Structures are given as structure tokens and as C-alpha cells.
Amino acid sequence: MVAESRKKRLASTHRAHIFYSGRVQGIGFRYTAEKLAADLGLVGWVKNLPDGRVEILCEGPKDRIELLLRDIQQSELAAYIKKTQCDWGKPTHEFKEFCIEFCL
């Protein structure tokens, strides 16, 4: 029964690779995204890129990832976003939590 429940949960997990461009660095984007994602129970990371974009890689139920996208678009961050690109893929289940990666 437990193995069946785990299989179902893993099967319902999705992966989103999201890029935000605009004036999205230096405005608290990563911290806001981290809180929103963690509150939704998503796992993965958010980081600034050297080219000025912010990148999010997350996994969880598709409806929760879609809520993250919506919540970001409805937050104070929306005024700074010019473009959002979201690519869906197969989850790897490599993450245990959602965190900020510092790599600039």
C-alpha cells in the first residue's frame, strides 16, 4: 500500500525550468520565489544568472508549480518581469527542499 502511494505521488510530480528576464535582480526576487515555492511544498532552487536573468528549477505537483508561476506574476515582482519562459520536463527527484543558490 505504501509503495503504491509513493509510486502515485512520484508519477504526479512534474519539473519546471523557468527563466525570468527584465530587471529581476537586486529586487528580492530570489527570496520571494523561495518563500512562495516553499509555501507550496515545491523542491528545487532559484538563482541569479550572470546575464541578468533569474532561473528557477523546481519539482512538485503541476498545479502547485502553476500556482508558483501565478503567484510570482501577481506579486510586486511582476512590475520588473519582461519575459517568462517555462519549459516542462521529467522530474529527477534529486531535491529535498527549495533553496537559493548563490553562484554569481
Task: Name the helix (H) or strand (E) containing 69.
Answer: helix 62-73
Q: Per-domain residue ranges for the chain? A: 2-92
| Average pLDDT score over residue span 39-47 | 97
pLDDT at 22: 97
Active site residues: 30, 48
Cell numbers that stand for 54 in this block = 533569474
- pTM score, whole prediction: 0.88
| Second CATH level (architecture) for the domain 2-92 | 2-Layer Sandwich (3.30)
pLDDT at 50: 95
Give ∠ CA 30-58-20 in degrees, rounded to 5.
50
Task: Name the helix (H) or strand (E) containing 33.
Answer: helix 29-39
